[in-house]
Amino acid sequence: MTGTEPVDGGVLVVNYQTKIPPARRDAKVYTDRAFAEALAVPVIGSTHPFDWWRSEDWEAVRRAVFVGTNEV
């Protein structure tokens, strides 16, 4: 891979609460559902992958990354 291959999809993992420990952050990324649904890429709050990793729920990670979601 040279970094020039096109990307066919992806998931945006976000959380604006960087000063709060991961376990105490809000699970919802955006409070405006219409805004989240209008985004071109699926969005997941950072607490979800953190919890999935902590509980070793690899199937949840696969579903989120390969199927996608507009998690609000």
Instruction: Say whether pLDDT at 17 is over 70.
Output: yes
Domain count along the chain: 1
- Number of residues written out for the chain: 72
pTM of the shown model: 0.61
**Rounded Cα distance, 35 and 21, in Å:** 26
Considering the domain boundaries, does residue 35 fall inside one?
yes
How do residues 45-62 score in pLDDT, each as one tens digit?
A: 888 888 899 999 999 988
Considering the domain boundaries, does residue 33 fall inside one?
yes
**pLDDT at residue 35, rounded to an integer:** 78
Considering the domain boundaries, does residue 6 fall inside one?
no
How do residues 23-42 score in pLDDT, each as one tens digit?
A: 788 877 777 778 777 887 78
Considering the domain boundaries, does residue 21 fall inside one?
yes
Give the number of other CB atoms < 10 A from CB of residue 71: 19
